[in-house]
Structure 1
C-alpha cells in the first residue's frame, strides 16, 4: 500500500524539497501551502496541494478533509513545517506580536496535529514529525520570539512522544540549523508590522547589526546546508522501525545540543553572547 504524508509549508525551501523527494520515492504526498497561488503552482507540477494556513482554523479542517478523502481516511505521516521568524529585542516585542507568531508556529501546528492523532490512533500507527530548530535547543539574542515558539514545540513534542507511543504513533523532532531558504526574508514583513525599532533604546544596534543582516543578502551563513539535508533526516525518521526522538542536521545544531548537556547556564550565556 502506498504510504501517505501531509507536509505543511511547501511553497519553497524545506517543505518543497521534502514534497518533491518523497513523491519521487513513491509516497502519496500532500504538499500544503498557506496561499492558494502557491498550491496552484504545485498542482501544476503534479503534486497534490491542499491549502492549509496555520492561522486559519477553517483551512486546517478543510485541507485535512481533502487529504482524507483522497486516501480513504488514512494518513501515515504528518510533517509540520511551516513557520516564520520575528527578529527583535525582547523588550521591543508587543504582546500581539508574540500572539501572532505563536499562532503560526505553535497553536496552528497543535490544531492540525490534534485532528490527525485520532486517524493514526485508529490505524494503530503513524509518524508525527516536527520541524524544530537549533533555537529549540538553545537561544540567541534578537531571536526571543522564534526561540519561545520552538522551545514550546520541543516540550509539547516530548510529552506527546511518551503519551502516543502506546498507540503506535512516533513523534519525532528534526533540528535543522542554518538551511538555505527564504526564512530570513520571509520574516521582514512581521518585523515591519510589529517592531517600532526607531523608538527602541537599542536603535543603534538595530541600525548597525540586525537590520543590515535582514535586508542585505550576505550570501550563505557558515555551515549552511541545502533543504535536501533536512529531507534526508525526514526520510530516516519516516523509514526507521524505531525512529530517534531527535535528528540533528547541521553542525551548529550538534554544537548546541552538546553545549546544553555539558555547560552550566552561565557558561552557555558566555558562549552565546559572543556569537
Structure 2
C-alpha cells in the first residue's frame, strides 16, 4: 500500500509537534507546518517534511496546500487542523480587534484550509479531516472568552460539516483535549499584552490576583494534565479506525465536563465551573 499522507498545522511545539513525530513513527508521510520558517527549519533538521502555513494569511494557506499536493502527486489522505492561540482577558476588556485577530487564525483559517482540501479528498474517494477543539469548546471558563468563542464556533462548523459529508467518503472528526502540556499559555502572553489594558479595567485587582499569576508565574502542571502524546494516541485512532468516532475526549476534565454539560442545568454547571 502507498504511504498515507497527512498535513498538520501548528507543529512548532506541543500537540502538533508530538503529532507530527508520532504519526511519522507510525508510518505516515507527515507535512508538518508552522507559522514561522525558523520552526520549519528545526523540524526539517529533525527529519520531517516541513513548510510554512499561517492560518491568518490566505496566500500562505494556498501555497502550503499546493506544496503538499506537489509532493504527493495531487493526493492527501488526512488533514489535522491543530494550530491555534489564546488571548486571555475578561470579555468586557476584549477589543474588537482582538477577536478579529484570534478568529482569523483559530476559525477562519481552519475553514479556508479545510475547504481547499475537500475537493482533493472528493476526487480521490477518501479522506479524514480532524479538527482539534478543546474542553473549552464544550464549556466556558473565565478569562478565556476569545479562545472559548473560537472553539465553540469550530465545534459548530465541524458538526455541520460532518453531517454534510455523510454522503461522501470523507470522515470529519473532533478531538477535544483538556489540560495538555504545551506552550499555549506562554504563547498567549504577547496577545494579552497587545490587546488587554488590564490596568484600566474595573477588574484590575482580579487580574492581579488571578490571571497575571497564571500567565507570568511558573506554577507547575495543571491538575490532570497529560503529555501531548495522549492526544496523538487519540488522533491515530481517529485516522486509522474504519469507523472513527465523531468526538474523542482527552484528559479527565474533558470527560467530566462533557458529562456534566449533559446532566446539569446551566446554573448548576456554572457553579461547578466557577468553583474551579
TM-score bin (small chain)? over 0.9
d(CA) in 2 for partners of 1:141 and 1:23? Answer: 37
Matched, 1:210 2:211: yes
Pairwise CA distance, 1:165: 2.1
Partners of 1:56 and 1:159 in 2: how far apart? 24
SS at match of 1:50: strand
Aligned-residue CA RMSD (Å): 0.6
- Find the counterpart in structure 1 of residue 141 from structure 2: 140
**Count of aligned pairs:** 275
CA distance in 2, matches of 1:203, 1:230: 36
Q: Does residue 17 in structure 1 map to residue 4 in structure 2?
A: no
Correspondence 1:183 to 2:201: no
Give a deviation string over 1:134-159, Cα, whole Å, max 9, x none.
00011111111110000000000000
Partners of 2:218 and 2:18 in 1: how far apart?
A: 22
Indicate the residue corresponding to 1:35 in structure 2: 36
Q: 1:193-219 deviations in whole A, cap 9, x for unaligned?
A: 000000000000001110011111100
TM-score by length of 2: 0.99
Report what 2:46 is aligned to: 45
Partner of 1:159: 160
Task: State the SS of the aligned residue for 1:32.
Answer: strand
Q: Deviations over 1:10-54 (max 9, x none)?
A: 001111111111111111100000000101111111111020000
Counterparts of 1:262 and 1:8, CA distance in 2 = 34
Separation in structure 1 between the aligned mates of residue 165 and residue 218 of structure 2, nearest angstrom: 43
Q: Residue 126 of structure 2 corresponds to which residue in structure 1?
A: 125
Measure, in 2, the Cα distance between the counterparts of 1:146 and 1:194.
Answer: 14
Tell me, what secondary structure is at the counterpart of 1:109?
helix
Distance 1:228 1:246 in 2: 17
Once residues 87 and 97 of structure 1 are traced to their aligned partners in structure 2, the CA distance between those partners, rounded to angstroms, is 10
How far did 1:273 drift?
1.4
Q: Calculate the TM-score normalised by the size of structure 1.
A: 0.99
Residue 34 of structure 2 aligns to a residue in which SS?
coil
The answer for the alignment partner of 2:107 in structure 1 is: 106
Q: Is 1:26 matched with 2:27?
A: yes
Give unpaired runs (5+ residues) of structure 1. none
Alignment partners' CA distance in 2, 1:142 and 1:12 = 23
- The residue aligned with 2:249 is 248
1:252-272: per-residue Cα shift (whole Å, max 9, x none)? Answer: 000110011001111111111
- Counterpart of 2:57 in structure 1 is 56
Q: Which runs of no fewer than 5 residues in structure 2 stay unpaired?
A: none
Runs of 4+ more than 4 Å apart: none
